Amino acid sequence: MHTQLHDTATRTRAQTFSLPYRNNRWPNPLTLKNPERPPCRFNGLTLLTFLTLLTSFTATAGDLKPGDSFPALSEFKLEGNLPDTTKAKVVLVDFWASWCGPCKQSFPVMEELHKRFADRGLLIIAVNVDENRPSMEAFLKKNASSFTVVRDANQKLVEKAGISGMPTSFLIDHDGKVRFAHTGFRGAETKKKYEEEIETLLK
C-alpha cells in the first residue's frame, strides 16, 4: 500500500442499522429517550417502499465509492494503535458500533477472514464509532478479535467518509483506492462477496 490509509438477510428486514447522524455525532440508540427505528424495519410499509429502501442499502456505502482514494487514517487521531498499512496488499476498513445488531454477526466473519488471508497481505481495521469507550470495550469482551480495532472518538473519519449505516465497509487496494464497498451485513452472502473480492485483489 503506497499511501497510509489513510451485506444474514431476513425476509422482514435488511441487515443495516441506520440512525440519524446529528450534530456531527452518531447517537447510541440505547441512550435515546425515544430512539428512532432503523429504516430497515418495514412494518406497514408497501412492498415498493421496501424494495426501494433495500436497494439503497445494498448499493450505497457512504460518500466514498469505488475508485476514490480512502482518507488517510493517520490524520484523524483515532484511539488505538494503527498498523503500518504500507506493507498490506489489501485493507478492509469496517465501521461498526456496539449497538449495531448486524455488527455482532460480522465480527466472527472478519475474524475468519483475518486468520485466512492475513499471511497473504490482508489487513483488517475495524473503526468503532461509539461515543463511550466502555460500550466498545464491553462489545469486544463478547466478540473477541485478533484484527486491529480503533475508535473514532471525535467521529471525524466517519463524517469524512459519509457513513450512513452500520456496518459499512470498504476494501482498499495497494494504491489506497476503494475497490469495493458494502453497507450492511447479510451473513453468508456478504462473506462470499468478501472472499471473492479479497481473492481478486490479492492476485
Catalytic residue list: 100, 103
Q: What is the dihedral of CA 48, 10, 179, 71, to 10 degrees?
A: 90
- The amino acid at residue 191 is K
Q: Which long-range contacts (CB under 8 A, 24 or more apart) does 135-141 make?
A: 135/28, 135/98, 135/99, 136/98, 138/98, 139/98, 139/103, 139/104
- CB of 92 closer than 8 Å to CB of 169: yes
C-alpha cell at 86: 504500507
Query: From CA 74, how far away is CA 69, in angstroms rounded?
Result: 14
